[in-house]
């Protein structure tokens, strides 16, 4: 997992081209007041951006998740969230759907990280995470960008 402020995205632009494309999109559009909720293919089949406004939830109301083929980069435009982190479960415990590249299971967090405005976190394929959890003990409406990034 990487946790950083978007102003430091230059640290990561020299790596994988798809990660660089996703971070550059975030940096270029983070303060864009015209950015609408929706999905935007940046590199079709390899980098897809989802802009959304959602309510955070209690950690107990969500399951841990993984993706096998894509990494996630979550950027917080407005508000804050906690993301739960845990060890990878046995494959038999994970309800994985290859069509959506999502796997879910119940577990307790090993730890969690709080992400605020202007910050992002990146989770690699097969790295368990539970996003959109309440940051301050109660739900709040947040606005964020999630990039689905195909990595080799």
pLDDT digits (tens, 9 = 90+) for 40-84: 999 999 999 999 999 999 999 999 999 999 999 999 999 999 999
Sequence-separated (6 or more) residues with CB below 8 Å from residue 27: 6, 9
- Please give the share of the chain, as a percent, with pLDDT higher than 70: 100
pLDDT, residue 90, reads 94
Each residue's pLDDT tens digit, 73-124: 999 999 999 999 999 999 999 999 999 999 999 998 999 999 999 999 999 9
Q: Is the dihedral of CA 77, 23, 42, 70 positive or negative?
A: negative
* CA–CA gap between residue 55 and residue 143 (Å, rounded): 9
**Nearest alpha carbon to residue 88 among 100, 74, 71, 104:** 104
| Average pLDDT score over residue span 5-34 | 93
Return the ∠ at Cα 118 (arms to 39 and 68), rounded to 5°: 50
pLDDT of residue 98: 96
């Amino acid at each position: 997992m990487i946790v950083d402020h978007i102003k430091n995205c230059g640290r990561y632009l020299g790596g994988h081209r798809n990660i660089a494309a996703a971070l550059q999109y975030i940096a270029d559009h983070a303060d864009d007041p015209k950015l609408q909720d929706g999905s935007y293919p940046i590199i079709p089949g390899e980098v897809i951006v989802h802009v959304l406004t959602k309510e955070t939830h209690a950690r107990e109301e969500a399951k841990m998740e993984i993706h096998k083929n894509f990494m996630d980069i979550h950027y917080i435009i407005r508000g804050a969230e906690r993301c739960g982190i845990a060890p990878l479960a046995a494959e038999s415990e994970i309800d994985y759907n290859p069509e959506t590249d999502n796997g879910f299971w119940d577990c307790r967090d090993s730890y969690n990280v709080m992400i605020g405005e202007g910050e992002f976190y990146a989770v690699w394929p097969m790295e368990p995470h539970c996003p959109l959890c309440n940051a301050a003990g109660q739900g709040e409406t947040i606005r964020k960008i999630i990039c689905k990034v195909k990595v080799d």
